Amino acid sequence: MPEGDTIFRAARALNKALAGNVVRRFETAYAPLARVNDDTALAGRTIERVEARGKWLLMHFSGDLILVTHMLMSGSWHMYRVGEKWRLPRRAMRVMIATDTWEAVAFNVQIAEFHTAKTLAVHHSIPKLGPDLLGGRFDKHEAEARLREWAQDEVGVVLLNQRVMAGIGNVFKSEICFACRVNPFRQVASLTPAEMKCLIDTSLKFLAANVQEGSSDGIMTYGGLRRTTGNTNREERLWVYGRRGLPCRRCGAAIQSHKQGIDARSTYWCAECQPMVS
């Protein structure tokens, strides 16, 4: 399940390999992308840069053309040397961009759109993103102000709101709340200033720790190796997420799980370490 760290690593890897190179071949399974390519071919354009904005990945081409993709739950970008065998079947390919050396392939990416700078400025989601936790210019004060705008909503729901802070997904949501001893079902209004600060600081800490150079999962943009505990053991890399019924790593109580929010996302927490009242 790709989150902000996944997208950041993907954009970084794609940018290193592709930026400054000319597109030699473009393929897509999506008719709207194919129509744009028919009208104004990608082949011959230069890939200027690839960047992450929260959970969105933007690939900028010369001639004011931007490919915007979102991985949702199952998408991934892979990179292969030209001629190298793909790890996933061609039927899973949604977009393929080839240079003289590399093939960048988007598998099972459910959102893929072409934009110009003008149309991107009025995109339904991207301009409305909150402070980007991996954007390099994160404003803690703005993040806190945006959190407080959702005072009557549950903390776990608000952390997933990309208009509050961009980049947090379902895994980090549960892990951040646990690290701060905040029950994810509490209202934002119930948070103390110290708890608010902890949630913001821990969000920055956890995402930054998972995009350090060398933390990449290979040619795939997500390999399930996200870590929050600092433990290098694969089985002990997370505090609570996916551990329903298992003992809390702090107190030994059974980890609980429940669906949360209108999207019914699974939330994990320890009732002993994260009581409903502070």
pLDDT score recorded for residue 222: 47
pTM of this structure: 0.81
Euclidean distance between CA atoms 126 and 122, whole angstroms: 8
pLDDT score recorded for residue 221: 53
Q: Is the dihedral of CA 266, 272, 274, 278 positive or negative?
A: positive
Domains within the chain, CATH numbers bracketed: 4-128 (3.20.190.10), 140-269 (1.10.8.50)
pLDDT score recorded for residue 85: 94
DSSP bridge pairs for 25: 98
pLDDT score recorded for residue 218: 43
pLDDT score recorded for residue 136: 80
Mean pLDDT by 10 residues, the chain (278 residues): 82 93 97 95 96 93 96 89 93 97 95 94 86 89 96 96 92 96 97 97 92 54 69 85 95 96 93 88
pLDDT score recorded for residue 24: 97
pLDDT score recorded for residue 217: 43
pLDDT score recorded for residue 159: 97
Three state DSSP letters for the chain: CCCHHHHHHHHHHHHHHHCCCECCEEEECCHHHHHHHHHCCCCCCEEEEEEEECCEEEEEECCCEEEEEECCCCCEEEEEECCCCCCCCHHHEEEEEECCCEEEEEECCCEEEEECHHHHHCCCCHHHCCCECCCCCCCHHHHHHHHHCCCCCEHHHHHCCCCCCECCCHHHHHHHHHHCCCCCCCEHHHCCHHHHHHHHHHHHHHHHHCCCCCCCCCCECCCCCCCCCCCCCHHHCCCCCCCCCCECCCCCCECEEEEECCCCEEEEECCCCCCCCC
